[in-house]
């Protein structure tokens, strides 16, 4: 006969399990590993789409996917889509500067921006990018499957996209997600 105690304890057991699960969900949401409304990226595990973009000041040269591939061969690099009109991009900027200071090459693409505005943005907040290109019409972004700005892609040394982050890279995201990947693909 099932002991009464067991039955009486069942609701508490279920509630505890639920509580633990929700705790983990919340934790995941803060770190960015759990996103109940996120849409996955199809680029993971593949090379970047073909493109060739003009320069965005203060960078003298634009770049193409071939340039990216070549540069990534030396060191995993981060491709970052940003815009001067995008507020979280400002916050992310500090983090990008820190990452660059730590030796990570970052290439930037100004998305749907005016060249003057983007240049001002860089001048005001600092330039973490080795090269910056301009995608004013936003068509390359569509090829990437961009959902908005800021958005970043990590390319490994074979030029394959290994990680995509939609949103600002916070210190938490950088340390918990990006750094381990950098070590892994170094």
Partner 1 sequence: MIPELGHFALALACVIAAAQAVLPIWGAWRGDARLMRAAPALAVGQLLALLAAAGALVWSSVVSDFTVLNVVQNSAAAKPLLYKITGTWGNHEGSILLWALILALCGGAVAGFGGNLPSALRARVIGVLGGTSCGFLFFALITSNPFLRVWPPPADGQGMNPLLQDPGLAFHPPILYAGYVGFAVPFAFAVAALIEGRVDAAWGRWVRPWALTSWCLLTCGIALGSWWAYYELGWGGYWFWDPVENASLMPWLTGTALLHSAIVVEKREALKVWTVLLAIGTFSLSLSGTFLVRSGILNSVHSFANDPARGVFILALLALVIGGSLLLFLIRGPALASGGMFAPLSREGALVLNNVLLCAICAVVVTGTMFPLFAELLAGAKISVGAPFFNATVLPLAIPVFAAMAVGPMLAWKRATLWPALQRLWVGALVALAVGLFSVVRWKLLPGLAFGASAWLVLGAVADIGQRIRFGAIGLGASLGRLGGLRRSAFGTAIAHAGMGVTIAGIAGMSLASNSIVLLHPGESTHLAGYTWQLDALEDGSGPNYSARIATISLLEKNGDTRAILRPSRRFFPLQQQTTTDVAIRTTGFVDIYAVLGEERDGGAVLRLHYNPLAPWIWIGALIMAAGGALSLSDRRLRVGAPARQKAATVTA
Partner 2 sequence: MSEATLPASPKRRGLSRKKRRLYLLLACGIGLGSAVGLMAMAFQSSIELFVTPSNIAQAPGNGRLFRIGGLVEAGSLTKTSIDGRPTAQFRVTDGHASVGVSYAGILPDLFREGQGVVALGRLAPDGSFSAEEVLAKHDETYMPKDVADALKARGEWNPADGKPPAADTWIDPAAKPKGG
Residues that bind partner 1 in the complex, under the rule CB under 8 A: 4-5, 8-9, 11-12, 15-16, 18-19, 21-26, 28-30, 34, 36-37, 39-40
Q: Is 166 in the site for partner 2 (CB under 8 A)?
A: yes
Residues 6+ apart with CB under 8 A from 146: 81, 111, 138
Tokens, residue 176: 């918990």
180 is in the binding site of which of partner 1, partner 2, none (Cβ under 5 to 8 A by kind)?
Answer: none
| 100 near partner 2, rule: CB under 8 A | yes
The interface region with partner 2, picked from 60-68, 72-80, 90-98, 178-186 by CB under 8 A, is 90-98
- Least distance (Å) between residue 32 CB and partner 2: 9
> Are 117 and 110 spatial neighbours (Cβ–Cβ below 8 Å)?
no
Where helices occur in 76-128 by DSSP H, the ranges are 87-101, 115-125
**Rounded distance between C-alpha atoms, residue 27 and residue 25, angstroms:** 5
């Amino acid at each position: 006969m099932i002991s009464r105690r067991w039955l009486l304890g069942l609701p508490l057991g279920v509630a505890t399990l639920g509580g633990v699960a929700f705790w983990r969900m919340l934790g995941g949401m803060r770190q960015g590993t759990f996103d109940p409304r996120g849409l996955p990226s199809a680029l993971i595990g593949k090379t970047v789409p073909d493109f060739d973009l003009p320069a965005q000041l203060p960078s003298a040269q634009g770049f193409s996917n071939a340039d990216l591939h070549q540069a990534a061969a030396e060191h995993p690099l981060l491709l970052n889509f940003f815009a001067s009109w995008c507020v979280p991009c400002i916050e992310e900027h500090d983090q990008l500067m820190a990452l660059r200071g730590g030796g990570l090459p970052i290439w930037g693409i100004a998305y749907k921006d005016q060249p003057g505005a983007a240049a001002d943005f860089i001048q005001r907040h600092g330039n973490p990018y080795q090269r910056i290109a301009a995608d004013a019409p936003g068509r390359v972004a569509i090829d990437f499957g961009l959902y908005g700005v800021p958005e970043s892609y990590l390319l490994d040394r074979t030029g394959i996209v290994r990680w995509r982050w939609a949103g600002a890279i916070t210190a938490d995201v950088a340390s918990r997600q990006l750094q381990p990947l950098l070590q892994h693909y170094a």
